[in-house]
C-alpha cells in the first residue's frame, strides 16, 4: 500500500472516531429545509467532505457534498433546520480545516431524496 493510501486510511479512521464520539445536543423540532452551502478556505485535502458526510448521516440529514474547482467545498443539505445549523457551525469550527467563509441559501426540497453522499 502506498504512503498516500496509508495516510488517507489513518485520516479516515481519525475522522470516523471524532464523529462517533461526538455527543449531539438535544434538538428542538424545527422546520424541514434544504440548504445549498459553500465552505471556502483550507477545506480540501483535510477530510472535510468525509466529515460532512459522517456528521450528516449521524444527524439524519440527506443531500450531498463535493469539492469544487475553486478549492472550496459545496453541499446541499436537507433536514431539520437546527440540525443543519449545527452541522454548518461544527464544520466551520474544525481546527484541521480553516473555514474563512460560509455562503448559504435555502433552496427547494427534494422529496424523493434518501441518504447523504460524497460526490467525487
- Residues marked active site are found at 49, 67
Alpha-carbon gap, residue 20 to 98, rounded angstroms: 22
Q: What burial class does residue 117 get, using C-beta atoms within 10 Å of its C-beta: 0-12 exposed, 13-18 middle, 19+ buried?
A: middle
Q: How many CB atoms lie within 10 A of CB 31?
A: 8
Instruction: Enumerate the H helices of the chain as residue ranges.
Output: 3-21, 48-59, 81-92
Amino acid at each position: 500500500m502506498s504512503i498516500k493510501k496509508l495516510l488517507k486510511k489513518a485520516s479516515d479512521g481519525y475522522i470516523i472516531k471524532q464523529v462517533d464520539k461526538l455527543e449531539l445536543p438535544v434538538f428542538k423540532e424545527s422546520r424541514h429545509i434544504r440548504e445549498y452551502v459553500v465552505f471556502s478556505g483550507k477545506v480540501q485535502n483535510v477530510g472535510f467532505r468525509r466529515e460532512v458526510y459522517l456528521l450528516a448521516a449521524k444527524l439524519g440529514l440527506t443531500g450531498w457534498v463535493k469539492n469544487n474547482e475553486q478549492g472550496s467545498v459545496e453541499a446541499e443539505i436537507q433536514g431539520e433546520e437546527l440540525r443543519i445549523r449545527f452541522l454548518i457551525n461544527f464544520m466551520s469550527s474544525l481546527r484541521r480545516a480553516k473555514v474563512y467563509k460560509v455562503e448559504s441559501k435555502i433552496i427547494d426540497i427534494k422529496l424523493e431524496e434518501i441518504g447523504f453522499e460524497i460526490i467525487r
